[in-house]
Structure 1
Amino acid sequence: MPSVIGLLEAREKGIREEVARLRAALDEAERALQRLVDARVTVTELLTGEPAVAPESALKGAVAGSTVPHRTEGMAVSVLAVDYQHIVGLLESDVGREGMRCQQLAAALGLQVVPAKVEGLRSKAKRLAERGWIRQVRPGVFTALPQNG
């Protein structure tokens, strides 16, 4: 008969695999959405003959659960959901200047430093880095983008 700990570990592994699958599906959906937004901007530019800065929906404040757009010049942090704004703000502050590990980010943001919270934060930080809002200076360490000028 399997042990209770063994059953819990097997269940945990299954849930982690499901979370990874869902994250991959979400990332693919976000990429598809971004391609559609980019296509709409391009078509608008072609039809009007004028450069389109960004779709109107991207200029409004974001809501929780919204996607993270690829950063373009002039795009304000306010287009990000509040959780993402907090991460960028922290990394831009004196505390985050040298770069922070996800455990440090979690603590600084007032989150419990437990695997579930840290992994969720790591996923958000990686998404921000992939889309040009912050940078990953080495594996697991994130910092703000260098200031121009």
Structure 2
Amino acid sequence: MGSLFEELEAREATAQARVEEIEAELAELSGKLELARESLARLRIARETVAEVLAEMTPEKSAVGVDDDWPTVGEPVASAYAGAERRVIGVLTVPKWRPGMGAEVLPRVYRDILEVVADAPGPVRAKQIVPRIGLPAETGKIEGTRSKLKRLVERGWLDEDTPGMFTSARRRGSDLPNSR
């Protein structure tokens, strides 16, 4: 009968180990859940704050080029999200480059990116720019910077002759942007 008790003790030890393993997983998931809840709360607060600011703003219509088919600032518009409403802010953070337009029209991070690219001896990659604009060299920061670089290319501020390699936009004489 000694072997039956030994078998039960072994099974009990295995079950105890499994319980401890699941408790550890539960503790880890509880930590992740708490972080996700905090992130959700911050996003809700941000959305509510933006909604308050937009509600306080008075919508302005320009006398030139207003199309009645397009929503105006603050006007609710249909969304791809079922039953949700989104408000049009009406701000283009990176405008399309035009002759005479300087980098001062861009948000600070975009101006920093343009400065790093302009100072580089040749084409640069997003992962080379990230530390030079004061961000940690993490995948998320690199990808975010890459999307900003692509946006600058699309809007005429930078060139990308080789995929992933960015340079200052080459323009003719008087077309050069005032970057500083």
What TM-score does the superposition give when structure 2 sets the normalisation length?
A: 0.45
Residue equivalent to 1:73: 99
CA distance in 1, matches of 2:160, 2:136: 22
- Computing the radius of gyration from Cα coordinates, the structure with the larger value is 2
Specify the SS of the correspondent of 1:67.
coil
Larger helix fraction of residues: 1
CA distance in 1, matches of 2:64, 2:122: 38
Correspondence list, 1:30-109, <5 A? 43=65, 67-93=93-119, 96-109=120-133
Residue equivalent to 1:119: 143
Flag structure 1 segments of 5+ consecutive residues without an equivalent: 9-39, 45-64
CA distance in 1, matches of 2:113, 2:63: 28
Q: In the alignment, is the contact (CA less than 8 A) between 1:66 and 1:81 conserved in 2?
A: no
Change (3 A) 1:100 1:84: same
Number of matched residues? 92
Change (3 A) 1:41 1:97: farther
- By how many angstroms is 1:116 displaced? 0.5
CA distance in 1, matches of 2:63, 2:126: 35
Q: Percent identity?
A: 36
When the two chains are superposed, the root-mean-square deviation of aligned CA atoms in Å is 2.9
- By how many angstroms is 1:42 displaced? 7.0
Flag structure 2 segments of 5+ consecutive residues without an equivalent: 1-24, 30-61, 67-90, 174-180
